[in-house]
Amino acid sequence: MNDRSNFLYPRSRYYGQVKPENLVFNANLQEFAQRVNFICSLETGGKLSPEEAYKQVKKLWKQLKRSKKQLGIGEQPFNPEDEIPLE
């Protein structure tokens, strides 16, 4: 089951500024991209109408924006002293 999950929901390594909120937002952004890809595939395959696909993508976008706001992404400039070292 884990192989199937990794295939369907691949995760890329994060190379940005290592802060907890950035890591969480990156995970949310990757999930957004995967879901949009599924919706596009369903619409292309005729399983979803263009209107329904648009509504679903719009809903996902609002969730991503809410996540960005709640995590405070982009509100505070990066301070290198706040960075968590990777080992």
The whole-number pLDDT of residue 69 equals 95
Distance of CA 29 to the CA centre of its chain: 2
Residue 74 in domain: no
Cβ contact 53:39 at 8 Å:
yes
Residue 47 in domain: yes
- In this structure, the dihedral spanned by the alpha carbons of residues 2, 7, 8 and 14, taken in order and rounded to 10 degrees, is 100
The whole-number pLDDT of residue 18 equals 87
CA gap 22, 64 in Å, rounded:
13
Q: How does pLDDT run across 42-84, given as a tens digit for each residue?
A: 999 999 999 999 999 999 999 999 999 999 998 866 565 665 5
Residue 79 in domain: no
Residue 57 in domain: yes
Q: Is the pTM of this model over 0.85?
A: no
Residue 12 in domain: no
Domain range for 25: 17-68
Residue 11 in domain: no
Q: How does pLDDT run across 66-76, given as a tens digit for each residue?
A: 999 999 998 86
Taken as a whole, the chain contains a residue count of 87
**16 pLDDT higher than 60:** yes
Please state the domain count of the chain. Answer: 1
Which amino acid appears at position 72 of this protein?
G
Residue 10 in domain: no
